[in-house]
């Protein structure tokens, strides 16, 4: 496949990595305790950064399926189904995400789901596994997509 067809995938992956990296920095910076503006800002920044990391990651996976002519999962559980789908090989392609990366992506998806619905009950310390998963995604998503791309679209010999 031509490089141009991967342009948006690459942009989405870069955005996901940036937001997940910043999520880890926000988590490490702390300042979440209390009722004042600074604590509120810290909590909201972490939630938004994590959501902003997962959303373009999901978009990249959808774009890859589109490139392949595969239908995107549908229904109320399509977000979870997408991760399951891209973590499995099919007759026409290898898995896009290896198992450890798929688990981490699943964790960031769960965080996004909780954050989108639980602003009033958000407990920062419970987000630690999701922030750690985001670090796994940061380190693994670029190489996983590059490996997948090389497998389905090998470079022509020199």
| Backbone torsions φ then ψ of 68, nearest 5 degrees | -85, -5
In contact, 50 and 111? CB cutoff 8 Å: yes
Q: Which fold has domain 3-152?
A: 1.20.120
Contact predicate 44/37, CB 8 Å = no
Instruction: Give Cβ neighbours of residue 49 (< 8 Å, ≥ 6 apart).
Output: 19, 20, 22, 23, 26
Nearest to 57 by CA among 150, 142, 119, 118: 142
Query: Using the 8-state DSSP alphabet, how is residue 121 labeled?
Result: G
Q: Is the pLDDT of residue 147 over 70?
A: yes
Q: For residue range 1-24, what is the model confidence (pLDDT) as tens digits?
A: 557 889 999 999 999 999 999 999
pTM of the predicted protein model: 0.90
More confident residue, 121 or 123: 123
């Amino acid at each position: 496949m031509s490089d141009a067809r991967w342009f948006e995938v690459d942009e989405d992956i870069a955005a996901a990595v940036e937001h997940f990296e910043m999520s880890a920095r926000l988590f490490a910076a702390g300042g979440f305790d209390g009722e004042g503006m600074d604590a509120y800002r810290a909590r909201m920044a972490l939630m938004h950064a994590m959501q902003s990391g997962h959303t373009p990651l999901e978009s990249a996976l959808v774009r890859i399926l589109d490139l392949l002519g595969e239908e995107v999962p549908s229904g109320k559980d399509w977000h979870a189904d997408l991760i399951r789908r891209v973590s499995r090989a099919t007759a026409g392609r290898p898995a896009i995400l290896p198992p450890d990366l798929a688990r981490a992506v699943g964790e960031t998806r769960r965080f996004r789901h909780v954050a989108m619905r639980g602003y009033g009950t958000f407990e920062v310390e419970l987000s630690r596994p999701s922030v750690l998963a985001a670090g796994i995604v940061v380190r693994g998503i670029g190489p996983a997509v590059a490996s997948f791309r090389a497998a389905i679209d090998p470079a022509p010999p020199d």
